[in-house]
Structure 1
Amino acid sequence: MQRPVQRLTVGLTAAALMAVGIAVPATAAVAAEEPTDLIISEYVEGTSFNKAVELYNPTEADIPLTGYSLEVYFNGSATATTAGTFALTGTVAAGDAFVFADEDLVAFADQITANNLWNGDDAIVLKHDGAVVDSLGQVGFDPGSEWGTGLTSTLDNTIRRNANVCVGDTIVNDVFDPSAEWTGYATNTFDGLGSHTVDCDGTPPPPPVADCDAEIVAIGAVQGSGSASPLIGSSVEIEGVVIGDFQVGGFNGYYVQDGGDGDPATSDGVFVYAPGGAAVDEGDLVHVVGTVSEFNGLTEITATVVSTCDTGLALPPAAEVTLPWDDATYEALEGMRVTLPQELSIIEYFNFDRFGEIVLGTERQMQPTAVYEPGSPEATQLAADNLVNRITLDDARSVQNPDPAIHPNGAEFTLENRFRGGDHVTDVTGVLDYRFGLWRVQPTLGADYTAVNPRTDVPDVGGNFTVASFNVLNYFTTLGSRGAATPEEFERQESKIVSAISAIDADVFGLIEIENNGDDEVSALDTLVAALNEKLGAEVYAAVDTGVIGTDEITTAFIYKPSEVELAGVFKILDESVDARFNTDLNRPALAQTFADVETGEEVTVVVNHFKSKGSDCNDVGDPDTGDGQGNCNLTRTAAAEALADWLATGPTGAEAGRELIIGDLNSYDKEDPIQALVNDGYTDLLLQEQGENAYSYVFDGQLGYLDYGLVGSGLAGEVTGASTWSVNADEPDLLDYLMGFKQDAQDAIFAPDAYRSSDHDPVIVGFDFIAPELSVTVDPEVVFPPNAKWRTVTFDIEATDDSGEVEVELVEATAEGHKAQVEVISDTEARVLARQGAVYTFVFEATDPSGNTTTQEVTVTVGP
């Protein structure tokens, strides 16, 4: 389309220029803001300890530094340490600079420190009386090694604030791009330290003029047919329709797509990076002048001039893409408008709260070692299949803890508009994007959403004696170390845990990840029991008082209902002092307690465990990740499992061996060596038995499996009535949890004091039946007359009941006493007796329930008188 060049007067605004098709710079020319406080004006991250920050006072008044501090946020942390917080002293005169530096740069410094300072991936915040004044970097995000590239980066460089920056960046968790406001210099450039100038007179420079009719290159030529652009570093002019406007939310840019170059191997879309640029809208036809680069695998153009040449155009049709993906196919569509017509399952949502990300898959995915033997070809193939049958649905924002959180249907995520793992979406539409090593869809439309995995009530596992394993995820009464950081967070955490425990209503709970402060006057365990009983309105639960167990901050514990079960003997602990194979520097000690059912006296030894996690390595004990899918520390967990089985075989609590229930977080999927060691020793995996191969209690990396167990000994297996997880946690996004530290206020408000997302692990519940059936048998007639030596038929009326609802009754014995007395059993309800004077016939009935509990009753028939 040919368009005449418009000629305008100087008085037109940037918005007016856009409306009529004249270019504005990619970074909009705006007046400098009026300075009100100090700014960070220079940053030095040089060799060794050559590190400094320069502060500049752009105001017209001196600023005393009382109440000012610099805070360093190391390695993506969202909080500053005491060692990384520096109170500033002195006064910064109007128009003067102040240098805070390591003692190695004392010649340039106004204030020095001997503490180790920052590296290239550490954010820095300037505060006054706790309020943010300026920031450098992105708090809560670790960029790897640096923000930025080349000289204009935070690693091994000096960067200086541009002269038109007069006000600090007070949003500490937004995306940080040094090139937007800083100019870079070589390593160990110190010549500017202590002096800075700004231009805050409010006069913006005039915008450059560009021509919408200038010659352009096809976007396909910019993208090329390979994994990277063939034009990296080149200045290009392209033109296309805006298909995704992501200028707000941290992306600082938008996607454009042209009509194509006819080559299916090259993408017709590209990302235009234009921080601070003039606004564009979807459907705008824009002419972009800029430099081509690859940013973490994404081809983009850093714009210098952007012209809006037309508005309100129809978007190009969305290309259909399907899973499984392959790099070549997706690379040819990078930056283009796409739709995924498949019905996809929500499989991962760990980053939903922090980054607005959801992972979609063709179906819910299982952990390979939850289905197949570790290292087997089947496990390897499943891992590969899982990888290519998933894609990330992003939210077109890179700020952390975005507000509002967006549901896959495009609306705001609320308690009334939420999702669960396993729910379905179809027709996901947006821009195909590549960031942080993953293919993503940046949505431009809401997807069709169907809830197929609703919340459920507590599963009924039957029986009269129930045991539950519950990971309470760092329930700490000592605030701040782990778990809740504030009283409000603790109240929220406790309300959820108490709601879950009270709903499960088990007779015995084995707790995992509770604070190990049992020697305190009021421990975390005591506090939890008190809160639980307060909710229940009576002293329903009591704790097994173990004191401190081991040396870890977290421990295992028991609570129980004294009205239903009694403690049989004292608790016992397995640690490395009992068996050197049970390394309690890495595993938490196993806690065993025998409980007796009050009604029947039947005993069960429950053992709650927390084996070493896969998250950190055990290289120092010769137990690395071998790559077979079992992760770190598999040998450590396996040795613990073997030691546990051998210990329980000795009957450590004094109770009968074989009547144990092993529960807890064993940090192993069910086909892995630690679990197989226990199974091979005679323990039955109840989740596998009752729920099958697809049972799960945990979601990690979008893959399901169970780390939490009910493993029952051979002497107890026949009395199990059921076992199940309760999916209150693993299927729920952690945006619903109690934590508040990272969330925006609106996210904090998405909270309910219910059981859902009370932890990250689902509880496991096991039922046992120790109560024998009730049996009532009557016989007709009870007395046979006359004694005429003839055969007479007697019938039995049988009534039998059991709490399981199932009972089998059998006539197991029939005897005859007396001269020539004879009896014949016809069925369980009928028999024949010979009417001999003085004969006595005895019939024994036995009722059996599904758990093997039995009740017997005798009835007699006499011949008389």
Structure 2
Amino acid sequence: MPVPRTAAVSAVVATALAAGLVCAASSQAAAPAAPVQAKIHDIQGTTRISPLSGQQVTGVTGVVTGVRAYGSSKGFWFQDTAPDKNPATSEGIFVFTGSNPTVSVGDALEVSGTVTEYVPGGLSSGNQSLTQISKPTVTVVSQGNAVPAPVVITARSVPDRYTPNGDPAAGNSVNGLTLQPKKYATDYYESLEGMNVRVGTSRVVGATDPHSELWVTVKPQENRTARGGSLYSSYNDQNTGRLQIQSLIPTAQQAFPTANVGDTLTGTTEGPLDFNQFGGYTITARTLGTVKDNGLKREVTRKQRTGELAVATYNVENLDPSDPQSKFDALAQGVVTNLASPDIVALEEIQDNNGAKNDGTVDASATVKKFTDAIVAAGGPAYQWRSIDPENNKDGGEPGGNIRQGFLFNPARVSFTERPGGDYKTAVGVTGTKGHPALTLSPGRIDPANPAWTDSRKPLAGEFVFKGKTVFVIANHFASKGGDESLLSQHQPVPRSSETKRLQQARAVNAFVKQLLAADKHADVLAVGDINDFDFSGTTKALEDGGALRSAYRTLPKKERYSYVYQGNTQVLDQVLTSPAIRGFDYDSVHINAEFANQTSDHDPQIIRFHP
């Protein structure tokens, strides 16, 4: 049975205070209001917040359309068979029971209870809410009734604009705005919240994940990539056709399908439209289509030529020695086969020798040895490793894991310029005569005392020599997007608070690159790694400031610019940026993970080949 991640603590929005649930000014409890006789569309109302939030309702009638008897958000959906004529009011609603429901699909019910607004992730998340009935009293009137006919969601029914801007007088919240289901996609979905809906054959845009969820789009041509994804290419184009799919069917009856991006979910998928923390609007399928495998293959890049230097970046997702050998072997195969054994590989998320065990260990030599041994076993070169151990629990990531960046390099092709003295607290500088810049430390960390790097990974700079030419490589892992509100935040436009830190980090890296270019405007400099931001973001623009760097993605066709898939949006997180002297290069985002249900990492590696 799939267990969705939507079961956070239920929260009642602040409107419940005004509705009389709490009386802070009186020591004498107010008498409870009389229950309100209501229809489901009366409860749902024409905004995202119920006009009856916090109130007792009674005599609510409808037919059960779905039952969720797993996870901690147990309950059922039911729907009125006598709808009103207002397209903004939903006729379906979720009833939270907290224990296994005793009703079945097709039961006609009369329900009483309290109207609440459940905010997946809690009030601090900024998420929109799910209107539901809590603490219910349920009377089964009859059984075996037909389920209300589904609303069929199609490319034509979903508007092209994603969501309205919020009300400035309400902190940019959309909660109080009247729904316009013919104008905005999220208003359309909200007007169907809790109702029985259906999608037909649809393209998969987010692979099956470990929580038995996948993503489809009802808009076949919306920002379609060559490999079948939906490209997220601007803050104003959020791919309105995306919907998450979960299943209400016990796995003993039907296993949840395994699908990759570009596959097709064929036939009919039908069930109540839910709203949850990790997917937003989600069809909880009572009837689930079948997956047609469209044969997505993992990409293999070409081998670098004799005079080309190949530099790659790869986030290996919290790698530590306790991971199964199969993960090391698969990552090694990715380096050797899919990346064709680059000369230099900047790695992100190498954990210390005991992973998440929080005992002060920071050395990662065992992690690296297990990885480099696996590369040799896969037929790759005997890479050497250079890095700097972080200060314990000061670089963010999993507590105790002490993730860091580091360089693998093939000594048969490239040499590493050693300059001792680099440690977690000492800043690398630029020295050397005009036209011949050098690092004061190699490897060395860039500006580690800068507050921009508090609880975040510090950039690692290394100096390499390839065929007599010096190349500077900066391995980065910028601050994550944790803390940002989702695309379905009640606040629109969506606040992106984490970007502030990444902007500071980008400016620090940009300033360091400018020091190198001040010494030699023709210096070959690469800034690579998990930038944790889009190619069109302010972070990328700050890295590029003054022409010091340029994102290599700009040389690719727009629909090939991605390294990650999140909630059905194919997008950029990992990047390679080049100094002006690096021209005529060959760049490849090698798609081996992000689009697949079976992933070794959640990131796709990047590679650049050029003549220094």
Normalising by structure 1, report the TM-score.
0.49
Deviation readout 1:446-468 (Å, 9 max, x if unpaired): 13645557122312265334222
Superposition deviation, residue 424 in structure 1:
4.4
The reply on whether 1:320 has 2:179 as its aligned counterpart is no
More strand by share: 1
Partners of 1:228 and 1:470 in 2: CA distance: 47
Asked if 1:335 corresponds to 2:157, the answer is no
Cα distance change of structure 1 residues 361 and 645 upon mapping to structure 2, 3 Å threshold: farther
Pick one of 559, 562, 580 that aligns with 2:411: 562
User: Does the 8 Å contact 1:369/1:630 carry over to 2?
Assistant: no
Written as runs of structure 1 = structure 2, the 5 A alignment for 1:443-592 is: 443-447=285-289, 449-451=291-293, 454-460=296-302, 462-464=304-306, 465=308, 466-477=310-321, 487=322, 489-503=323-337, 504=339, 505-515=341-351, 522-536=365-379, 540-546=381-387, 548=389, 552=395, 553-563=402-412, 565-567=413-415, 569-570=417-418, 576=427, 578=429, 582-584=447-449, 586=453, 587-592=457-462
Cα pair 1:242 1:281 within 8 Å, conserved: yes
Match of 1:430 in 2: 271
> Structure 1 unaligned runs (5+)?
1-137, 151-155, 157-185, 188-215, 373-378, 398-402, 478-486, 619-624, 737-756, 771-865
In structure 2, distance between residues paired with 1:664 and 1:140: 31
One-letter amino acid of the structure 2 residue matched with residue 725 of structure 1: S
Distance 1:453 1:697, change over 3 A: farther
Counterpart among 602, 607, 612 of residue 765 in structure 1: 607
2: CA distance, partners of 1:316 / 1:495: 51
Q: Which residue of 1 aligns with 2:490?
A: none
Match of 1:268 in 2: 91
Contact 1:614 1:632 in 2 (8 A): no
TM-fit CA distance, 1:492: 4.2
TM alignment of 1:4-43, pairs within 5 A: none
Q: Helix, strand or coil for the counterpart of 1:420?
A: coil
Match of 2:471 in 1: 605
Residue of structure 1 in register with 2:527 after alignment: 662
> What pairs up with 1:82-481 in 2 under 5 angstroms?
142-143=8-9, 219-221=40-42, 223-224=44-45, 227-228=49-50, 230=52, 233-265=55-87, 266-276=89-99, 279-283=102-106, 285-296=107-118, 297-300=130-133, 302-307=135-140, 309-311=142-144, 313-321=145-153, 322-324=157-159, 325-326=184-185, 329-341=188-200, 343=202, 345-347=204-206, 352-354=209-211, 356=213, 358=215, 360=217, 362=219, 363=222, 371=233, 379=235, 382=236, 385-386=237-238, 388-396=240-248, 411-413=254-256, 417-425=257-265, 427-436=268-277, 438-447=280-289, 449-451=291-293, 454-460=296-302, 462-464=304-306, 465=308, 466-477=310-321
Alpha-carbon distance in structure 2 between the residues aligned to 1:688 and 1:678: 14
| SS at 2:205 equivalent | strand
By how many angstroms is 1:430 displaced? 1.2
| Offset, 1:532 | 2.1
Opposite residue 133 of structure 2, the aligned amino acid is E
SS of corresponding position for 1:439: strand
User: Once the 2 structures are TM-superposed, how far is the Cα of residue 317 of structure 1 from its aligned partner?
Assistant: 1.8
Please say if 1:639 is aligned against 2:491: no
Q: Is the 8 A contact 1:357 1:393 kept in 2?
A: yes
Shift of 1:727: 1.4
- Partners in 2 of 1:224 and 1:302 — Cα distance? 20
Which deviates more from structure 2 when the two are superposed, residues 669-678 or residues 626-635?
626-635
How far residue 695 of structure 1 moved from its aligned partner, in angstroms, is 0.5
Q: Counterparts of 1:636 and 1:368 in 2: how far apart (Å)?
A: 30
Q: Distance in 2 between matches of 1:295 and 1:725?
A: 43
The aligned amino acid for 2:414 is E
Secondary structure of the 1:648 match is helix
User: Which position in structure 1 is the counterpart of 2:172?
Assistant: none
Hey, what's the Cα distance between the residues in 1 that align with 2:248 and 2:241?
22
Letter aligned with residue 412 of structure 1: A
Cα offset, 1:632, TM superposition:
2.7
TM-superposed deviation, 1:509: 1.6
Q: Distance in 1 between matches of 2:112 and 2:362?
A: 66
Amino acid at match of 1:569: T
How far the C-alpha of 1:281 sits from its partner, in A, is: 3.1
Partner of 1:81: none
Number of aligned residues = 495
Q: Is residue 562–residue 589 contact of structure 2 (8 Å, CA) maintained in 1?
A: yes
Following the alignment from structure 2 to structure 1, what is the Cα–Cα distance between the partners of residues 64 and 6? 31
Instruction: Please say if residues 90 and 191 of structure 2, whose CA atoms lie closer than 8 Å, have aligned partners that are also in contact.
Output: yes
The answer (yes or no) to whether the contact 1:475–1:515 under 8 Å persists in 2 is: yes
Aligned-pair Cα RMSD in Å? 4.7
Counterparts of 1:612 and 1:439 in 2: how far apart (Å)? 30
Higher relative contact order structure (alpha carbons within 8 Å, sequence separation ≥ 6):
2
1:357–1:395 CA contact under 8 A, matched in 2: no
Q: Which runs of 5+ in 2 are unaligned?
A: 17-21, 23-27, 30-36, 119-129, 160-183, 354-360, 396-401, 431-444, 485-492
In structure 2, the CA distance between the partners of 1:523 and 1:290, relative to structure 1 (3 Å rule), is: same
Instruction: Identify the residue that residue 182 of structure 1 maps to in structure 2.
Output: none
Given the alignment, which residue of 542, 567, 571 partners 1:705?
571
**Aligned-partner SS, 1:633:** helix
Aligned mates of 1:693, 1:467 — CA distance in 2: 23
Measure, in 2, the Cα distance between the counterparts of 1:305 and 1:140: 24
The change in CA–CA distance for 1:645 and 1:516 in structure 2 (over 3 A counts) is farther
C-alpha spacing 1:364/1:345, structure 2 compared with 1 (3 Å): farther
Q: Kindly tell me: are residues 348 and 641 of structure 1, through their superposed partners in 2, closer, same or farther at Cα, counting changes over 3 Å?
A: farther
Partner of 2:553: 687
Among the aligned pairs, what percent are the same residue? 19
**Partner AA of 1:494 in structure 2:** F
Q: Is the contact made by 2:384 and 2:411 (CA closer than 8 Å) also made in structure 1?
A: no
Contact 1:369 1:672 (8 Å CA) reproduced: no
- TM-score for both structures, normalised by structure 2: 0.67
Contact 1:556 1:591 in 2 (8 A): no
Amino acid at match of 1:255: W
Please tell me whether the aligned partners of residues 345 and 407 of structure 2 are also in contact (alpha carbons under 8 angstroms): yes
Q: Is the 8 A contact 1:461 1:723 kept in 2?
A: no
- Who is 1:595 aligned against? 465
Once the two structures are superposed, residues 30-81 of structure 1 have per-residue CA deviations (whole angstroms, 9 ceiling, x without a partner) of xxxxxxxxxxxxxxxxxxxxxxxxxxxxxxxxxxxxxxxxxxxxxxxxxxxx
Moved more, 631-640 or 138-147: 138-147
Amino acid aligned to 2:344? V
User: Residue in 2 aligned with 1:790?
Assistant: none
